[in-house]
Structure 1
Amino acid sequence: MADRTPVAVFISGSGTNMAALLYASRAADCPYEIVLVLSNNPDASGLKLAEAEGVPTFALPHKGIPRVEHDTMMEAEVLKSGARYIALAGYMRILSPEFVGRWEGRMLNIHPSLLPKYKGLHTHDRAIEAGDSHGGCTVHLVTAELDDGPILGQTQVAIISGDTGESLAARVLFAEHQLYSRTLAAFVARESSADWLFEKVRALAAALPEVEERESHGSPGWRVGGKYFAYFNDQHHGTPHIALLVKTSGQDELAALIEQDEDTWFRPAYYGASGWAGLILNRPNVDWDHAADWLRRSWAAVAPRRLAAMMEF
């Protein structure tokens, strides 16, 4: 199968959610692999499990180390492992805003409640005391505010008469193990999804003044003043690329872009003869600010002068 997306997992204890992620990754069609398990607790039993399964581990006690410094030292190991995403799985440390900011959109957590209900601790007891019909779990992106990031997936678990926090927690844990692996797989697979990539490009193009979306030669395209400035290319003309096509100043610039970074740029069939460049999107670590800059530049190349004067480049 294609290269899997490398993921690092942070734990503090038994690591049952880490184990669920790990064993799910052994499926032939799983789009991610666990490349490192880290803990702030050297005695965490989850570390022993990871080691037994052949996964590298790293432990760094946090006592006596300033929070920002500890996060930075943990992050250094993540970067050395090549991980592109972090999954928090029972990691009982509040992370520094600086660390969270550097991994914005690439760090996930699982929380034992149906967020936005019951952030923090004792979630199952609170759901029972509130008379809720269901508890459950939520996978969300991590932000600087505790348990407050965008929700990626949830599973409801019925609250049964006579439930205690412990009995409900035991059932929710089954749901967590299934939800987390499924949600993580779907999230990392977006990078190669033409539909998701198209919506990213569409949003960037729509943010520019007086843009019209219209299909051309079977490809979605965007125009301003009646002229096309961008196309979305989904493996057309036999190429393996999902790409954003933008205008360059001509063949010299197109050739220079490809020579400088052939993993990012290519000469698209048909369009390349007119100096259009293909910015490859189905690759790791796409810089969307870079894509937005090229869209603005391409827009400015064809926009009426009255519009181009409105934009600063």
Structure 2
Amino acid sequence: MTERAKVAVLISGRGSNMAALVYAAKAVDCPYEIILVASNDPEAPGLKLAEAEGIETFVHPHKGLKRSEHDQILHEAVTNVGAEYIALAGYMRILSDDFVSKWQDRMLNIHPSLLPKYKGLDTYQRALDADDTHAGCSVHLVTPELDDGPVLAQTAVTIMPDDTADTLADRVLIAEHQLYPAALTKYVSREADPNWILDQVRDRALALEETHERPSFGTPGWRVGSEKTGKYFAYFSRRHFGETGTSVFVKTSGLDEQSALLDADPDLYFAPKFYGKSGWIAIRLDTGRTDWGHVADSLKKSWRMVAPKRLTKMMDIADDF
């Protein structure tokens, strides 16, 4: 089994969704583990449950502190234990933009409505007042705007004719306890999904000027220039060309640079069998710890090597300065 993703959970109360994540993590094939439960409330009942389950806890009251000060303390506590993701589970404090930016794309929240409907509080009564046929819950990425991040998963819950806000809340909570572990599992496993990986490479390759995608030997490749005269600067490999695993091939300046990269980090790079003799390098993308900034830089460098001079002229002038 590959190394499990390390998750910190933030709570302010009983932590029932935290408990659902904790118990799901006990499955032998679960791709994440809960390594910390933190709270802004020393009396939060969920802390006792976490302690009973042998999970490290951290508490720091927010009273008397500026939001940014408390969030920095929280950030340090989470990073000190080595957490890679944060799951909000009934954490009732609005987090500062600075904190959210530090955990961009690595912090999830569960909200008791079918977003984008009913952001904020009183979601059950608002659904009843609107005569909706369904309520539900959503797992989303956290962004600075409240309950506005990309939705990762949702579960709809039918509204019964005699429902009150309380009875509806009880059933939505059952759905939450099933949805959150499943959504977190899928999200922390995404970098092992070849289709997700391909989408990441494609987005970065096509963001470069005058690029287009064209298959090559049955696998996606990206070219710069016209459809007729364009040149390839990257190829995607998913067990193609006699290779194993998932990787992207990019150009280097030649065999000397290729050799230097292989020596510097043989776990990240390898010489592709089909293109290696011409100086191409393969960057592994299925380790679960891909540095996508490095991938983007490598794609741009490869693009620049074959792009028409009219596209690289301004870059060359900038480099001279």
TM-score range, shorter chain: over 0.9
Structure 1 residue 75: deviation in Å?
1.1
Quote the Cα distance in structure 2 between the aligned partners of 1:219 and 1:275: 19
Shift of 1:238: 6.3
Match of 2:198 in 1: 198
1:249-300 deviation line (CA, Å, top 9, x unaligned): 1122122223333343222223222211122222344232221121111111
Cα distance in 1 between the residues matched to 2:55 and 2:258: 43
> Does the 8 Å contact 2:242/2:273 carry over to 1?
no
Match of 1:233 in 2: 237
State the secondary structure of the residue aligned to 2:6.
strand
TM-score normalized with structure 1 length: 0.94
Structure 1, residues 153-195: CA drift from partner, whole Å, max 9, x if none? 1111111122111111011000000111111111111111111
Letter in 2 for 1:182: A
Are 2:46 and 1:42 aligned? no
**Who is 2:271 aligned against?**
267
List per-residue Cα deviations over 1:4-39 (Å, max 9, x = no partner): 111111111111001111111122222111111111
Which residue does the alignment assign to 1:2? 2
Say which is worse superposed, 261-270 or 129-138, in terms of deviation: 261-270
| 1:9 partner amino acid | V
Q: Secondary structure of 1:72's match?
A: helix
The answer to whether 1:280 aligns with 2:287 is no
Identical aligned pairs, as a percentage?
58
Cα distance, 1:67 vs structure 2:
1.0
Aligned to 1:250: 254
Shift, 1:215, TM fit: 2.5
Q: Cα offset for 1:239? A: 5.1
Which consecutive unaligned segments of at least 5 residues does structure 1 have?
none
1:217 CA displacement: 3.3
Match of 1:99 in 2: 99
Give me the whole-angstrom Cα distance separating, in 1, the residues matched to 2:40 and 2:242: 49
Could you tell which deviates more after superposition, 36-45 or 213-222? 213-222
Alpha-carbon distance between aligned partners in 1 of 2:119 and 2:311, rounded to the nearest angstrom: 47
Structure 1 residue 149 corresponds to structure 2 residue 153: no
Per mean C-alpha deviation after superposition, the further-off stretch among 253-262 and 187-196 is 253-262
Report the equivalent of 2:293. 289
1:78 counterpart SS class: helix
Taking a change above 3 Å as real, the CA distance of residues 297 and 72 of structure 1, as seen in their structure-2 partners, is same
Where 2:215 maps in the other structure, the secondary structure is: strand
Q: Secondary structure at the match of 2:135?
A: strand
8 Å contact kept, 2:109–2:140: yes
Work out the CA distance in 1 between the residues paired with 2:239 and 2:102.
32
Q: Is the partner of 1:8 in helix, strand or coil?
A: strand
1:219 aligns with 2:223: no
Q: Which moved more, 1:189-198 or 1:280-289?
A: 280-289
Quote the RMSD (CA, aligned, Å).
Answer: 1.8
**Counterparts of residues 66-85 of structure 1 (less than 5 Å):** 66-85=66-85
Give the number of aligned pairs.
313
Letter in 2 for 1:113: S
Q: Secondary structure at the match of 2:247?
A: strand
In structure 1, C-alpha distance between the alignment counterparts of 2:101 and 2:195, rounded to whole Å: 27
- Return 5+ residue gaps in structure 2 as ranges: none
**Residue of structure 2 in register with 1:308 after alignment:** 312
